[in-house]
Chains A and B, each alone.
Chain A
Amino acid sequence: MVNLNINDQFVSVPEGTTVLAAAQKLKINIPTLCNHPDLCVAGNCRVCVVEQKGARTLIAACATPVSEGMDIHTNTLKVRNARKHIVELLLSEHKSDCTKCYKNTKCELQALANEFAFGDTIFLDIVEDHPYSIDISSPAFIKDDSKCIRCQRCVRTCSELQYISAITVANKGSHQKISSFHDRPMSHVVCTACGQCVTRCPTGALVEKTSIDQVWDAIYDADKHVVVQTAPAVRVALGEDLGYDPGERVTGKMVTALKQLGFDSVLDTDFSADLTIMEEGTELLTRLKKVLVDGDKKTRIPMFTSCSPGWIKFVEHKYPEYLSNLSTCKSPQQMFGALAKTYFAKKRKLDPSKIVSVSVMPCTAKKFEADRPEMRASGYKDIDFVITTRELAVMIKQAGIDFRVLKPSQYDSIMGDSTGAGVIFGATGGVMEAALRTAYEIVTGKEVPFNNLNITPVRGMDGIKEAKIKIEGCTDEWKFLEGVELKVAIAHGLTNANNIMKLVKKGKASYHFIEIMACPGGCIGGGGQPIPTSMEIRENRIKAIYSEDEHMALRKSHENPEIIALYKDFLGKPNSLKAHELLHTHYVEREHY
């Protein structure tokens, strides 16, 4: 243990603790900017400088480990002058059009300016000296260099958490900037649109490409029937942008709010998540039969899940030789989209050309997914607009709704019913658990051998998880699986995804089925979720997901009555020809860089 004094208060912390963390223990607030709990230390913004007695210069609290007898002061004249200058310097290279900026009132630089730099501007504006550009090439997000303060959080995120390193620091001196490979548009490099950089950017330099205005236009268009679906991860995080703590379940209120916003039908992505399980579970069993019984060399195992569009784009760029290992199932969003303008339109006697299909997603890559050219199985664009959880919160505020006093209400039918298996899609390991609950029962006629259907080995925040289930007591149809130990793996975050892919490539991954989510924590940690994010926040959201699951009447996808009706009235059976046309897709190889 190391003993030191901060602002004349004694504190004792383990060796290796930073001055910043030691101060936090004493509840002394030192302002930071480049520091982020999910990322390695940078120490470049210098906002957190503090005075250490005996030191020649000020020290960066986030980057300096404590030492015995250290005497730190966080608010001396020297520190205050330096901090004010540093914030002023950042403001001088930042386009401060706050009133027009999407991050207005949510910007960390703005907050610092409010604390340390109100009053006359000290320095000259140097924004005009820089040829800043705005990149709007990606359907998922906008990169506005004029707002960048070069904290490098995005670079560290893309490199440490997401492996891809689609953005980097380029040049030096006054030309230093955050850039893609040779400044190419973000739509033309290996960026997976996962949006993890967006959720960590302190300013408006990286924000999602919003569709709020277009959705309002559709809602106000009396001619249109606007359908909205909500992803599982949205209901446990939306509250954070509306005054709630992380991990509050606000499902009922969310549905009421959507109705009050003016959506004609408020439906649930969890429904199509159940549908995905039916299709994907069947696909898995079919693949296993082809491999284990027929000895088919063309069928590929392990099979990977395909509901995470960031993960899909990752495979298309980095591991295109494994495209046939991806499940051909579309994501729940896109399955819903295909059905909304076919099945739903037919059942509700609506003109599909007048249906506008909107989805609320915790994700930015879903905006990219909706724009994929092949996503037109209905004959129209299957999903017209994707809005993030953050955008929905904005719309709710714009409508003047006091979210907290809303009475909860139920989803509309015929695509609004779901089971617990659908909602757990939002958490890492959730798709796997949902799939096992159904597949195991199909094969053996019995429930999975886990207490209360909670398959705990696939849950939790470990980067890579593994589980084994022995299949015993198969029905006649599935005799070939008798005694087989089904090996599954789960990874979340693209760095972990890459690690699993390396094992697969080396032949060291003897799994049958692998679930991969591009975002740390799964969808609850998605690029469209409320900001800020941290391990603690993601863990709270996950607790809420499993709590939601436990409180549902039905917890297995195949028991969903609306799903049963869908097959009976429209699709026939899982993997039928019609199911293939509407609910399955293909992938493309993309540039390696």
Chain B
Amino acid sequence: MYQVGNLVKELTDKHGRARENLMPILQGIVEKHNYLTDEAMVEVAKELEISAAEVYGTASFYSFLDTKVRGKYVIRICKTITCSMKGKAEIIQTLEDMLKIKVGETTSDKMFSLLETNCIGWCHKAPAILINEIPYTELTPEKVVEIIKSYMQK
């Protein structure tokens, strides 16, 4: 477990302690540590002087502010109809085979999480995924293998 208190203090110093600063603070924690632990949410609640339930209620609304355990690289596969039409199913199959997990799961070494997401805005270059914040488009199973290998080597 990492020392979350320091990170939260850093973020509240940077952004402020008002309710309107909650989103950038939560985003900052997710950026550094992939998801929000209970500990992190309690720290944020203390700094902003709001209840922990409030922090959780707001975080859980947003798909990218995960309160479940996530890996270092969160792969989000677009599941909108165009990506489906252009071969999303094969991409998912490739990823599941490579990472040995199913959609919704995280690898045991906490490196990769595999999730589905809604339209990410690359319909003309479908199928597309996001890995953390980087988009990868015009995917084929071969391309996907290359991309994941490059992440594994990091």
Contacts and interface: CB of A to CB of B under 8 A. Distances in A.
**Chain A: number of interface residues, binned into ranges:** 10 to 19
B93 interface: no
A167 B53 CA distance: 6
Nearest to A183: B56
A593 interface: yes
Interface in B48-94: 50-57, 60-61, 67
Given A170-B56, A593-B45, A181 B61 contact: no
A165 B56 contact: no
A182 B54 CA distance: 10
A576 to B, nearest CB: 42
A165 B50 CA distance: 8
A130 interface: no
Given A171-B61, A190-B51, A593-B51, A179 B46 contact: no
Interface string A128-161: 0000000000000000000000000000000100
B41 interface: yes
Contacts of B50: 165
Contacts of B54: 159, 165, 168
B38 to A, nearest CB: 6
B51 A164 contact: yes
A552 to B, nearest CB: 42
A63 to B, nearest CB: 21
B57 A168 contact: yes
- Secondary structure at the B interface, as helix, strand, loop or mixed, is helix
A168 B53 contact: yes
Interface string A100-134: 00000000000000000000000000000000000
Given A181-B41, A182-B67, A593 B57 contact: no
B46 A168 contact: no
Contacts of B148: none
B130 interface: no
A593 B61 contact: no
A39 interface: no
A166 interface: yes
B123 interface: no
Contacts of A190: 51-53
Interface string B29-54: 00000000010011001100011111
A165 B51 contact: yes
A189 B60 contact: no
A592 to B, nearest CB: 7
Contacts of B56: 168, 170, 179, 181-182
Nearest to B59: A170
Contacts of B60: 170-172, 179
Interface string A166-191: 11111110000001111000000110
A197 to B, nearest CB: 12
A172 to B, nearest CB: 5
Interface string A565-593: 00000000000000000000000000011
Contacts of B45: 592-593
A592 B41 contact: no
Contact of A592 (B38, B42, B55, B61): B42
A293 B56 CA distance: 49
Contacts of A167: 53
A165 B42 contact: no
B57 A170 contact: yes
Contact of B41 (A159, A166, A182): A182
Contacts of A592: 42, 45-46, 52
B60 to A, nearest CB: 4
Contacts of A171: 60-61
25 contacts: A159-B54, A164-B51, A165-B53, A165-B54, A168-B51, A170-B56, A170-B61, A171-B60, A172-B60, A172-B61, A180-B53, A181-B38, A181-B41, A181-B51, A181-B55, A181-B56, A182-B38, A182-B41, A189-B53, A190-B52, A190-B53, A592-B42, A592-B46, A592-B52, A593-B45
8 A-B pairs closest in CB distance:
A168-B57, A593-B52, A165-B51, A168-B53, A181-B53, A181-B52, A170-B60, A593-B42
Interface of A: 159, 164-172, 179-182, 189-190, 592-593
Interface of B: 38, 41-42, 45-46, 50-57, 60-61, 67
